[in-house]
Amino acid sequence: MTARILVADDSINWSKPFCDFLNQRGYHATSVAKGNELFTSVLNAPHDYDILIMDNSMPEADGEQEIPYCGVRILGMLVAHFRDHTVPPALLDRVIVRSIYSKQDINSLRNEADDLTELGCSQVALWFDRSIPLDELMRAVNSLCTPPLRRE
C-alpha cells in the first residue's frame, strides 16, 4: 500500500524537491507551506494522509499575536480536535518533526512533544537538525510504515 505523506514546511526549496523525490520513490507526497494550511488540510481530509513530516517553524499568525513553535502547537490543536473521534487521523500517530532551533527551543519543543505523546500521538520523532542525512530520514519514514499501513 502506498504511504500518503503530508510534508509541511515553509521552505519550498526543500519541500518541493522532497515531495518529488518521495513520489519518485513510490510514495504519494503533497506539501503545504503554512501552519494554517496544515491545519485545514487535515481538518478537511483527515484520512487522506498516513504520515506527517513537518517543520516546526512555519510562519503563522493568529491575529496580532505571532505563534512561536507553531508546528507542534498546530499538531496539538489537531490532536485536541480529533480526541473524541472514534477514528482519529492516522497521520497524527506518525509524525516526524524537524526543527533548527537552539538548545533552549529544543527543550521547549521536547516538552510540547511529550505533551503530544500523552495526548495520544504514539510516534512523534523529533529531529533537531535540518540537515538530516536523507538515508536517516527515509529510514524514519520506512519505520513509520511498519507495521503495514491500514486504512479505515
Site residues for other proteins, 55-114, by CB under 8 A, read 57, 59-61, 64, 66-70, 100-102
The residue within the footprint of other proteins, chosen from 43, 107, 134, 142 (CB under 8 A), is 134
How far apart, in whole angstroms, are the C-alpha atoms of residue 47 and residue 11? Answer: 25
82 vs 112, which CB is nearer to other proteins?
112
Site residues for other proteins, 14-33, by CB under 8 A, read 14, 16-18, 20-21, 24
The residue within the footprint of other proteins, chosen from 126, 128, 130, 140 (CB under 8 A), is 130
| Smallest distance from other proteins to CB 49, Å | 21
Query: Could you tell me the sign of the dihedral formed by the alpha carbons of 84, 4, 37, 122, in that order?
Result: positive
Q: Which long-range contacts (CB under 8 A, 24 or more apart) does 19-28 make?
A: 22/141, 25/138, 26/2, 27/2, 27/3, 27/141, 28/2, 28/3, 28/4
- Count of residues that bind other proteins according to CB under 8 A: 28
